[in-house]
Amino acid sequence: MKFSKYNRLFNVKEAYFLYNILTTALVEMDENLKFAVVNNKIEDVDEAYIDDLKKLHFIVNQAQEEEKEYEFFYDSYRYGLGQKRIGLTFIPTFGCNLCCPYCMQGQEKKYNVISDEGIEAIVKFLENKIISSLDSAVPISELYFTLFGGEPLLAKKQLLDFCEKTKSIANKYNCNTVYSMTSNFTLVDDEVIDMIKRYNITTQVSIDGKKEHHDNSRKRFDGTGTYELILKNLKKFKELGLEDNIVIRINITEENLDDAEELMKTFRPYSNDIFFGFVDNFKGMNDHFSSCVSHSEHANIVAKRFADISRKYLGWAYRSFGKKTPCSMNTENRYLIDPELNVYKCELFVKRKEFSVGQISLDGVLDYKPTFYKQMSFSPFKYEKCVKCDLLPLCGGGCPAKAIINNLKEPLCDISEEELFIYLKDYATNIGE
């Protein structure tokens, strides 16, 4: 027997804890176990603990290749459990009524919306996928729909048509459905409210800081801000008892870093799901925006500042750690479909035709391009750096889309040892609260 390579020892004041990255198990240690771990003396572990420590993966067999266990889990989800679900992001238009300077999708005053024939084609495609899975080992039983854009509410008629027809297909084949939407929340009216209630749509709304910061970035083409209108609509949803349908993302840039707690305090009453999102820089997409928070800054800021804020107002730390499932980009049944029926595997690829994996025909058939197989073949286990890294089960190899866009020879690291320990100590400190 031997101690797992994924074990991490840390202390909080006088108490010592052992954490396993692969299983995410956490135990408080007595002096005897601490001595055995610190000195790497497996023979000094109390016999009474052995069975439990083996079950939790703190102790493994001498010949065990632990990294293969995570690879098995990764592939099992990717080709097994992940297949029962279709994740379909519907983009009825790329148009938007705002002109946010950091937006990856540009600033389009003129825009097209998807045709009625286009919606019918998507519905046919969806039904074909469900039917073809019925005789498989893992038939499709879950449908996750995301309404995206641009600003999707500019195509309200098309959204209603899409929701009605996809719900009908789901009922026909006894599939569970989940609807979500990403919206700037400036076009809310009674019809939108009725749609959100009818299909139980969870709607993500972004706030870009206090009024002066928000209005400087989330503004209309005439230069007017949107802070007061969004706040008014959030209040309306709360009055209607619909705050559970709202997810609030507080966008963090270099300009509003110090406003984080005030923003959390202001907007917490309007949603039970509120989080900090960092405006990142994406090659060839928003290079012009200079106020992005870099990844290294992101990790440092999240760990050292925002964990406390989130715990204070939400009751839990900003980020939790768990075994990473494959990115949905790497599962077959993940699709983003634009108004021209071009299909992508990730939001970061949208509007970049070189990353499109195909186009749906009007009879609902998707003919895959070679890009599909290239993107689907991405795996962190192809990279020696990832295979050897003890943090792989926590990051899953980082963001595959960013690696592909930047033509990287290895994935981008998504977590640091320092960040891990900060959150482990935060969690251990607050156990039982």
| Closest to 9 measured CA to CA, from 430, 323, 417, 304 | 417
Specify whether the CB–CB gap between 257 and 297 falls below 8 A. no
Domain ranges of the chain: 2-64, 66-433
CATH superfamily label, 66-433: Aldolase class I (3.20.20.70)
Task: Please tell me whether residue 169 adopts helix, strand or coil conformation.
Answer: helix
Residue 295 token pair: 């990844």
| Closest to 184 measured CA to CA, from 167, 203, 165 | 203
Inter-axis angle of helices 260-267 and 307-314, to 10 degrees?
A: 20
Give the other-Cβ count within 10 Å of 89's Cβ: 21
d(CA 317, CA 296) in angstroms, rounded, equals 19
Residue 230 Cα distances to 19, 78, 264, angstroms? 42, 38, 15
Residue pLDDT tens, the chain, 433 long: 999 999 999 999 889 999 999 999 999 999 999 999 999 999 999 998 899 999 999 999 998 889 999 999 998 888 876 789 999 999 999 999 998 887 766 556 678 999 999 999 999 999 999 999 999 888 999 999 999 999 999 999 999 999 999 999 999 999 999 999 999 999 999 999 999 999 999 999 999 999 999 999 899 999 999 999 999 999 999 999 999 999 999 988 878 888 889 999 999 999 989 988 876 655 444 444 445 565 555 556 655 677 778 878 887 765 556 678 888 888 889 999 999 999 999 998 999 999 999 999 999 999 999 999 999 988 899 888 888 899 999 888 888 888 888 887 777 777 788 878 877 887 788 765 5
DSSP letters spanning 373-393: HHHHT--GGG-HHHHH-TTHH
